[in-house]
Chains A and B, each alone.
Chain A
Amino acid sequence: MEEIIKLAPIAGAAGVQEPLLVLRPRRGWQRLGLKDLWQYRELLYFLCWRDIKVRYKQTALGVAWAILQPLMTMVLFSLFFGKLAKMPSDGIPYPLFVLTALVPWMFFSNGITQSAGSLVENASLLKKVYFPRLAVPIASIIAGCVDFLCSFVLLIGMMLFYGIVPSASVVWLPFFLALACIASLGVGLWLSALNVQFRDVRYVIPFLTQLWLFATPIAYPSSLLSEPLRTVYGLNPMVGVVEGFRWALLGTETSPGPMLLVSAVASVLVLLTGAFYFRRMEVTFSDRV
């Protein structure tokens, strides 16, 4: 053994070999490793594809759930908040008003739930093979886009039913969808990394999403609030997304404005902090899941 160690530096000098990869202990904050993630894009694609395929393979109604969930919630909300509580709805028929918010909301809440559990669910993978760990929660968010598309079809149907045609502001819709992705990925990264360390997270999530649902203007319009407060309200990223959807599709009079900007900044902040926290905790994942 000793002989080999002594010989080695000579060989290194003569062969002029550069290692492809050096593994050494990492501590503290890490770079995001997006390049590595890009090289593994094929795996990301297959993880999404698997999540989508498996999700509905054993359910009797299959993809229909993606439509049933927002539909049933819409009916319930219309009954209790629209009919009984007589909630204002910016002059839009209440069911449509709620559904337009529920579609991005469900994408968000399902996204954070799925991604929060994703690392623990894929424990066997994390323990047996290397790949950029970020791929796991990202895949579960992207897989949620299929559900979003299905429920979006329902939304279009409802708009046709009420005879509402969106104005030119509809071109902004992809922007709001992107914002929803950023927000749910950000929160999902935080929760998934925390979930590896503290399994308490699993029990917190249903409570968190419920609370968040009512902290977001879904059953009510954000126009209930007056201006300085309304902008502060935008700190909840989903406020900007939901009001943005309504503005782009239904043409509600109040354009989101400064509130939207606050939401956008908040989302990006959550994503960045989430990603760095995730990378910091990543080294312990395979030993802990």
Chain B
Amino acid sequence: MADLAVRVENLWKQYRVGRQPERYSTLRDTMANMFRAPFRKLQGLVPGQGSPDAAGDDRFWAVKDVSFDIRRGEVVGIIGRNGAGKSTLLKILSRITEPTRGQVSLYGRVGSLLEVGTGFHPELTGRENIQLNAAILGMKREELTAKFDEIVAFAEVEKFIDTPVKHYSSGMYLRLAFAVAAHLEPEILIVDEVLAVGDAAFQKKCLGKMEGVAKEGRTVLFVSHNMQAVTRLCERVILLDGGGVVGDGPAGQLVTRYLSSGDGNTKMRAWDDPVRAPGSDVVRLCAVRTRTEDGQPTDLVDIRKPLGVEIEYDVLKPGHIFHPCFSVHNSEGVHLFSAQDTDGTWRRRARPTGRYVSTGWIPGDLLNEGAMFVGVAVWTLNPEHCHFYERDAVAFHVVDSYDEESARGGWPFSVPGAIRPFCKWETQSEHGTVVVPDDLPDDVPQAQCKG
């Protein structure tokens, strides 16, 4: 077994319900509590109370008995749905908050990046903020001097380096903030969901930089909801649920489990709050779903079956022509295809306001097995404008059976490739031409085999 980098032993962390983070108290509350405290202590003497499982009514355990070891040079993803304890775990590892029980041993200098631009001050210039941020993240001055130009170049803000950052565009601000963090060189790097911000190009750049960090052999702990990023960066994944570890193993396997268990709730995403929903003042996204032919929402699809991508959106201003579309990426981040609206009903007609649901069908026998990520967008042409593009809006999982009826053809091992169309085969021999099987589905010949 190689060198240890992090060892977490029976870690527990308790918060008060509805007080996460704990609300500040007033003197009055505390005085009232001082009188109640003796009675509480009496209650504590009752057997059963005080053990972690029977925690008091207003308390809950954000992290429950978590243990794992991470070896030097490992890149580990931590996944789980909201409230699974991921962020609390990272906060403990990066010394921001303390565990309630248990312990963590760190075998190296830790640098944590729980937010981009921590400590940035709008009144200070780009240069000043780089210096401040570097000091906050624990970068030594000589280290910063050596890397300063590199940081500025990465952020692409050379011209504005002496301008207060309050005049920066949000993109510039983010790039600058990430640039400092990306040049940290701790032995153990802890990163929380920083890739969730910024546009697609920026995210790609960040992901590239993170890959670089991982390749340098540093230990990385990475929390993300972006399963593409997790499968691309990490070889190992720890799956958390309800504060505890429910899985620890190879990334692909656990991401699959996470997605297929419905834990991730990837089959549907709805934006209840119109303010936070993607869109413009003309059209706004309401929900995205993946469903089967009989209308059931699903995130698990048989490789032979078509899958519908349902885009629900509100048209807020009349008189525009819209083009809904979606794209599919696989877990390696390869853009497999984009699908434009082929239904002619609204193609050249300005739409009145109201709610619309456009469904695009991904044909069966097209994709390979594995996790697929769907991004949705609505465009107008003349002038060309993208009202929203919601990357990874939903995800689904393609499964192939071993029953010899699919493109797998009974092959027992993995079938590599980005797609897996059902190719019609025939074999000629001295025994005559035999076409098998003869009960092919009708739509199969559409998927042409080029090889």
Contact = CB atoms under 8 A, between A and B. Distances in A.
Interface of A: 1, 4-5, 7-8, 10-12, 15, 17-26, 42-43, 45-46, 49-50, 53-54, 57-58, 124-131, 196-200, 283-284, 286-289
B15 A287 contact: yes
A125 B119 contact: yes
A24 B121 contact: no
A200 to B, nearest CB: 5
A164 B35 CA distance: 60
7 contacts: A5-B69, A21-B110, A22-B106, A129-B118, A131-B138, A198-B30, A286-B96
Q: How large is the interface on B (under 10, 10 to 19, 20 to 34, 35 or more residues)?
A: 35 or more
Nearest to B108: A20
B122 to A, nearest CB: 9
Given A1-B248, A42-B140, A46-B132, A20 B21 contact: no
B102 A24 contact: yes
Main secondary structure of the interface of A (DSSP, over half): helix
A46 B140 CA distance: 12
B101 interface: yes
A54 B119 contact: no
B118 A128 contact: yes
A17 to B, nearest CB: 6
For the complex of A and B, the 7 pairs showing the least CB-CB separation, nearest first, are A19-B105, A130-B95, A24-B103, A46-B135, A11-B1, A23-B104, A128-B118
B245 interface: yes
Interface in B1-34: 1, 3-4, 7, 15, 20-27, 30
B98 A283 contact: yes
B107 interface: yes
B211 interface: no
B26 A131 contact: no
Contacts, number: 139
Contacts of A128: 96, 114-115, 118
A20 B3 CA distance: 13
B99 A24 contact: yes
Contacts of A126: 96
A287 B91 CA distance: 10
Given A19-B105, A25-B98, 15 more contacts: A1-B245, A15-B4, A17-B107, A20-B107, A21-B106, A22-B103, A43-B135, A45-B135, A46-B131, A54-B124, A57-B123, A58-B123, A124-B119, A131-B138, A286-B21
Contacts of B69: 4-5, 8
A288 B118 CA distance: 18
A287 B112 contact: no
Contact of B22 (A1, A7, A288): A288
A7 B7 CA distance: 12
B109 A130 contact: no
B99 A23 contact: yes
Contact of A23 (B24, B92, B128, B132): B92
Contact of B123 (A53, A131, A197, A199): A53
B203 interface: no
B136 to A, nearest CB: 6
A10 B69 CA distance: 13
Interface string B33-74: 000000000000000000000000000000000011100000
Nearest to B67: A5
Contact of A198 (B24, B121, B141): B24
Contacts of A15: 1, 3-4
A127 B15 CA distance: 15
Contacts of A22: 103-106
A58 B97 CA distance: 34
A50 B130 CA distance: 12
**Most B-side CB within 10 Å, residue of A1, A53, A129:** A129
A17 B69 CA distance: 14
Given A17-B4, A23-B104, A196 B24 contact: yes
Given A22-B104, A25-B99, A53-B124, A11 B4 contact: yes
A1 B25 contact: no
Nearest to B95: A130
Nearest to A57: B123
